[in-house]
Amino acid sequence: MAAQTEESDCAREQTKAEQDVDQVRKRAARDQQRLDSGAVSSPKDLENLQREITSLAKRQSDLEDVVLEVMERRESAQERVAELTERVAAVQAKIDDATGRRDAAFEEIDGEAASVTKEREVIAGSIPADLLKLYDKLRAQQGGIGAARLYQRTCQGCRQELAITELNEVRQAASDTVVRCENCRRILVRTADSGL
């Protein structure tokens, strides 16, 4: 925006400087025409007119230098605008790409979540209501994980190894008995790798 504003300011400044040069050029041409026409006969008026034409030529030269300097600044500003516009376009392309990948990932996650939710509903239908209620309560308390696998005598929820007395209680419990970790209170899921 700043570069575009600078370029716009330079364009206005260039237009004004070119108009000033044009006015001086027209005035010098009028004076030269008066001088060449012979309409001015007084030597003093002729001398004044020649001085003015010389002065106007100097003024025109100075103004043309200003125009050239402004044109150079404007060209530099235009190059800067073009460079920044190109960089903005490149960044926007990266943003668009990242947004597209994010949206695709969201769609994939939403699809997985819908699939897992359906699977959970089917499985939840086969679990006793009181056990499901306990699991949901623990899940809410434990950051989304209400049950953890017992792997090689270690609760995978809190990563704590069970004490020998706890292991003996788990060993002696019937296979359909709900056992819980003494450390994190999650439901322990027993498998062949539990180390019992």
146 and 92 inside one domain? no
Q: Is residue 118 a part of any domain in this protein?
A: no
Q: Are 7 and 74 in contact (CB under 8 A)?
A: yes
133 and 104 inside one domain? no
Number of residues that this document lists for the chain: 196
Residue 179 has pLDDT above 80, yes or no: yes
Residue 39: the pLDDT is 74
159 and 63 inside one domain? no
102 and 29 inside one domain? yes
Domain boundary among 59, 87, 113: 113
Domain boundary among 81, 113, 145: 113
Average pLDDT on 92-106 reads 96
Q: Are 4 and 81 in contact (CB under 8 A)?
A: yes
Range of the domain at 135: 129-190
10 and 81 inside one domain? yes
Residue 118 pLDDT level (bands cut at 50, 70, 90)? very high
Average pLDDT on 126-145 reads 89
Domain count, the chain: 2
Domain boundary among 113, 138, 166: 113
Write out pLDDT tens, residues 30-57.
888 877 777 767 788 778 878 888 888 8
Question: Could you tell me the pTM of the whole model?
Answer: 0.45
Q: What are the structure tokens assigned to 2, written together?
A: 């700043």
The alpha helices in the chain, defined as continuous H runs, are: 2-37, 43-124, 129-141, 164-172
Give CA–CA dist 3/14, Å, rounded.
16
Q: Is residue 20 a part of any domain in this protein?
A: yes
Residue 195 has pLDDT above 80, yes or no: no
Average pLDDT on 3-29 reads 86
